[in-house]
Amino acid sequence: MNPHALRRKSNLPTNGLVLAAVIAAPAVFASSTTWWVSNQGLDGASCGTRDKPCRSIGAAVAKANPSDVIEVGAGLYGDLNGDGAFTGPGEERPGTDGNGRTCLICVNKAIKILSLHGADDTIIDAGNNRRADPESADGMVNNVISITSTGTTLGADGAGFTIAGSGGDGVHVTSSVSAGTIIGNIARGNRRSGFDVEVIDQSYTPFPIPLTVTLRGNTAIQNDVGFSASHDEMRGVGETVLVTENTASGNAGGGYEFRGPSFHALLINSVSSNNGAGVRLSGVFDAEIRNNTVTGNIGHGIAIQGLSQSVRIRDNTIVGNTGAGVFMLGFNDNIVIRTNNIYGNSGVSNNPGPVLDSPNCGVINVGMDQPADATNNYWGSARGPGPDPADNGGKGCDFFSTVTTKVTPFATTLFPIRP
């Protein structure tokens, strides 16, 4: 039976967790050519047909035109022999992404790259973790995949890749990209972020129509940061970065990280567990954290700092983190924390911020000049915030601040836990 047809059938929407990155409306692939890649293929001038596939993904990318599709068979791609030289037969040949960063696969055209058998069976490995000295810049590949073109699609439900072994990011979307899709992939063992999006820069008028970057159906494990998005400009064009139905686990620095102003950050229906911190927000001006499970992280569940504004944290389960459930540091403004489950957090104040005597604090305020609204949350007890078995909040969990976090009224029963 045709495995390609089987995969197509399995791509129907499911309710399972998925992690992906979509950058707004993907291009319409009307008239296109399909290029084939296989571990049984050979790179060459005539490779790329189904009967004569290429061995490397990069060879097919070089042949493809905008709107073409690349179908990749199961197996290993990238550094095949582990020597870090990328000179062996069928190995990927690293290039640069236009910003001087090396990439194992550099995608500079609006194409679709899909796997036939899914992420577990289709691995792209830059080999950094197998080098004699992973810290050495000699032979290090910055990013496994760099996307520099609007309209690119990487993966689909049941058709993604495992992306591993970079000296930087697993998948890096540059600030030149305004639309694209990244779905159903696994980023594992990358030195920086599993998935990283630089929000598009447009400093001069006319500004582009605001667009959306979506990360959906991907999983990030054992990277420094699972998912990150950043922007460094102050302007009024509000692109959206949508991170939905993702899983981040075992990432040393944090599960999800949003940095910088002038974009709308959405984290929805996702899981963050056993990371250095669950979610980190720094200097964001518009963020919504909704319907997530943030549990068992080594640091704070959600950490907000750096003059962040207009942050809405709703309908989450923030439970069992070593730090606070929600930690707020500095002059943040308009912080709303409502209808969440917040309990079982130790309240130990670690990075970021000063060391505090804050055991059992579900919500910590350090140096805020405007009170956060943390009403209508369930604190682990029908009596509201306070000593065990509840988490505390408000008075007793405010430090170096002239304001007190608002914690009443509160919910007396557990909210549904999603996802």
Nearest CA to 258 out of 239, 274, 237 is that of: 239
Query: What would the two tokens of residue 286 be?
Result: 């518009």
- The confidence score (pLDDT) of residue 223 equals 98
Task: Say how far apart CA 409 and CA 155 lie, in whole Å.
Answer: 45
- For residue 24, pLDDT over 50 is answered with no
Instruction: Express as a percent the part of the chain with pLDDT over 90.
Output: 68
Give how far the C-alpha of residue 41 lies from the chain's centroid of Cα atoms, to the nearest Å: 32
DSSP designation for 28:
P
Query: What would the two tokens of residue 101 be?
Result: 């960063």
Which element (helix H / strand E) includes 187? strand 186-188
Contact between residue 218 and residue 184 where contact means Cβ atoms under 8 Å apart: yes
Residues 77, 52, 156, 218, Cα dihedral to 10°: 0
CB-based contacts of 295: which residues, under 8 Å, 6+ apart?
A: 272, 273, 278, 301, 317, 318, 319, 320, 321
Task: Say how far apart CA 111 and CA 109 lie, in whole Å.
Answer: 6
Confidence bin at 351 (pLDDT 50/70/90): low
User: What average pLDDT does the segment 388-414 reach?
Assistant: 95
More confident residue, 135 or 310: 310
Beta strands in 199-286 (DSSP E): 212-216, 219-221, 225-230, 239-244, 247-249, 254-259, 263-268, 271-273, 279-282
Handedness of CA 153, 262, 284, 340 (dihedral sign): negative
> Strands across the sheet with 398-399, in order?
95-96, 102-107, 143-147, 169-173, 193-198, 225-230, 254-259, 279-282, 302-305, 326-329, 363-366, 398-399
- For residue 202, pLDDT over 60 is answered with no
Query: What would the two tokens of residue 131 be?
Result: 């080098």
- The confidence score (pLDDT) of residue 307 equals 83
Identify the residue whose tokens are 């229906």: 269
- For residue 33, pLDDT over 70 is answered with yes
- For residue 131, pLDDT over 70 is answered with yes
User: What average pLDDT does the segment 192-202 reach?
Assistant: 86
132-144 pLDDT, tens digit each = 777 777 778 999 9
- For residue 42, pLDDT over 50 is answered with yes
If DSSP codes are grouped into helix, strand and coil, which group holds residue 138? Answer: coil
Amino acid at 238: G
What is the CB neighbour count within 10 angstroms for residue 370? Answer: 15
219-245 pLDDT, tens digit each = 999 999 999 999 866 555 567 888 999
238-276 pLDDT, tens digit each = 678 889 999 999 999 999 999 988 788 999 999 999 999
Beta bridge mates, 153: 112, 181
72-111 pLDDT, tens digit each = 999 999 999 888 889 999 999 999 998 889 999 999 999 9
Beta bridge mates, 70: 35, 113
Range with the largest mean pLDDT of 105-114, 137-146, 280-289: 105-114
User: What average pLDDT does the segment 383-399 reach?
Assistant: 94
CB-based contacts of 1: which residues, under 8 Å, 6+ apart?
A: none
Question: Across all residues in the chain, what is the average pLDDT?
Answer: 87
- The confidence score (pLDDT) of residue 11 equals 37
Nearest CA to 176 out of 156, 160, 198, 157 is that of: 198
Instruction: Express as a percent the part of the chain with pLDDT over 70.
Output: 87
Identify the residue whose tokens are 């599960």: 255
Task: Say how far apart CA 319 and CA 313 lie, in whole Å.
Answer: 14
If DSSP codes are grouped into helix, strand and coil, which group holds residue 230? Answer: strand
